[in-house]
Amino acid sequence: MQVLCWLLCLGTAGALAVLHKNQVAQQAIKLYRGKGVQQGHSWLAGNCKQLVGLLRQKNVVVKKLAAAAVAVGKDQSLSEPERLFQVHTLEVFQKELNESEHLVFQAVQSLQRALQGDYRDVVNMKESSRQRLEALREAAIKEEQEYVELVAAEKHQQEALKSALAQNKTLSMLDEILEDVRKAADRLEEVIEEHAFDNNKQMKGVNVEAVLRVEDEEKSGKRKNKSQQREVEDDLGLSMLIDSQNNQYVLTKPRDSTMPRADHHFIKDLVSVVMLSLPCGWICSLVGLPPMFGYIICGVLLGPSCLNSIKSMVQVETLGELGVFFTLFVVGLEFSPERVRKVWKISVQGSCYLSLLMVGAGLLWGQVLHIRYTQTVFVSTCLSLSSTPLVSRFLAGGSRGDKEGDLDYSSVLLGMLVMQDVQLGLFIAIMPTLIQAQSGDLDSLRVLYLLAQVLGSLAAVLLLCLLLKSFLIGPYYKKLHAESKGNKEILVLGMAAFVFFMLTVTDFLDVSMELGCFLAGALLSTQGHMVTNEVMGCIEPIRDFLTIIFFASIGLHVFPTFVLYELTILLVLTLTLVIMKFGMAVLVLSLILPPNSRHIRWVVSAGLAQVSEFSFVLGSRARRAGIISREVYLLVLSVTTLSLLLAPVLWRVTTRRWVPWAERKLLT
């Protein structure tokens, strides 16, 4: 009954500005009687009169506030800050009254839409809910703005009071100094204030969402009886925010940049990873497994599937990516130009043939299982890549025969992995094309344009490398070496800066950053073995520490419960994939290797028979873009992890069986 009456009042809202309240009430009663209702006349008349009366009172108050603001603005007895504060306060009150009136009619209109909607249609209900949510978000923004304006007005008032007190007493020298410092600090805050919220809220693509602010239990307990401390810590903004999609956020840039801050969650996470990696890696070394296996187990134990103690997963993974960069830099240092010239044809042909075979096999299975071709191409390409950091750890300290006229397996293996890194850059570049194909917007001209763009970027990178090798890298290292005598900091910093320079260049040209890191090492390796050994001695400790973080970050994405639920199918898929990649690699290498070097195909194939950790990155991008489904993403994630865990076993078995035989063959 009351709902219907309020809807009838809505019909009279357009006449509120011109009709008296008694006329509005009589009109509403007439409409109410027209519906055939016999009761509730007095309730309707009373509420309509009350509503119209409130609105007319509001108009009177708004006019009085406007007149008061004009009078305050002309009052010369007030100081400028005090006058601004009073005018601003009156304007805020006017906004509040107008907004309250707007919210009343907005609520009635929302109720009318809800009653007119079809509740059998879920889409209609969803749209109504979305409209209410948008209205609440807009109201929250306006309320936040009003609160900020009031805080600023209060600050002006306090400054006016301080100015008045200062005029009535003589300031000491210390007070004058502090007053000058205060004014300078206020000017500094105004200069560095970016107004990021106000500047970005109206930008295209910006959505306003409700978030939860979560404080640590210890901090929240301390705040119960300390309001002043709460205000200070609230200003720090170091608490965690959680949105409606369960994404968690931490502070990246504070409003007040003059005060240093630290992310204690990230520090605790890093300490946990390092401390637990030691026993895990130690135990794996004792049982004959590579320590990296223990680091992955460390990530599993600390990740969401077990203890769930890592709060800053993105930050830990970002730090781990630096381990990949420095690992590839060291790989480039060890990959001498002579060995590059010896195996570049084999590397290009081998990596391309393997990728084509994997994609062809994926398309064949896709036809049989009726899977979209974009999904099969993506999954096949991901699975065709192998892990360069993992293999480089295998090769560390390994035997590498290098008889004149023969090829050692490490050169061929690293050459093919480097070409796969190039393919990774190409694949990242064509991912937008796969996304368009997913939505049905595939264009052959677009594909050719993207491929030409990537090839042009690669040509630009190679040209830059030739220029650096000819004119810059030699004098640059000599200068660093001369400045770093007795102080290795300059050398370490110079090498890291060079790595990041090449990384930035390749990223700017839309080529994989990993390729830039490898090229940085390869350029330095052209300066001779003494340079390589000196740089290696400085960079290897940094590389080792960051690599531990990287392998632990891989473990964060391993979910033992999912693996246990689907253990049979995952083992079958992983073993099938490993055997298939091993067999394809043996076949390809048998065709492209010279006859006197075909004995190394077994070891090289064993190094390629796993899936690159970059499948995690590519899979997450494809999952967000809708190229692959959630189920396929979890399968790719699990198969990649299991293949990385099986890789040390396959490598150890193969090298123990074939490396001694290959060395005897080289000697004979």
| Distance separating alpha carbons of residues 666 and 668, to the nearest angstrom | 5
Structure tokens given for 223: 């705040």
Is residue 431 within 8 A of residue 437, CB to CB? The reply is no
CB neighbour list of residue 620: distance below 8 Å, 6 or more residues apart: 633
CA distances from 287 to 284, 291, 293, 395, 552 (A): 5, 10, 11, 20, 19
Beta strands in 433-484 (DSSP E): none
**For 491-513, how does the pLDDT look when each residue is reduced to its tens digit (9 = 90+)?**
899 999 999 999 999 888 877 78
Is residue 429 within 8 A of residue 449, CB to CB? The reply is no
By CB neighbour count within 10 A (0-12 exposed, 13-18 middle, 19+ buried), where does 289 fall? Answer: middle
CA neighbor of 347 nearest in space, from 199, 469, 518: 518
3-class SS shares of the chain: helix, strand, coil, % to 5: 80, 0, 20
pLDDT of residue 563: 81
**For 424-468, how does the pLDDT look when each residue is reduced to its tens digit (9 = 90+)?**
766 765 666 556 655 555 566 766 777 787 788 888 988 999 999
In this prediction, what percent of the chain has a pLDDT beyond 90? 12
pLDDT of residue 274: 95
Which residues of the chain are modeled with pLDDT < 50? 1-22, 24-25, 28-29, 32-33, 35-39, 218, 223-236, 397, 399-405, 666-668
Question: Contacts for 488-494 with beta carbons within 8 Å, 24 or more apart?
Answer: 488/538, 491/534, 491/535, 491/538, 492/538, 492/539, 492/542
Our CA angle for 419, 408, 346, nearest 5°, is: 35
pLDDT of residue 581: 93
Beta-bridge partner residues of 214:
240
Q: Please tell me the pTM assigned to this model.
A: 0.70
Is residue 302 within 8 A of residue 312, CB to CB? The reply is no
pLDDT of residue 398: 53
pLDDT of residue 577: 93
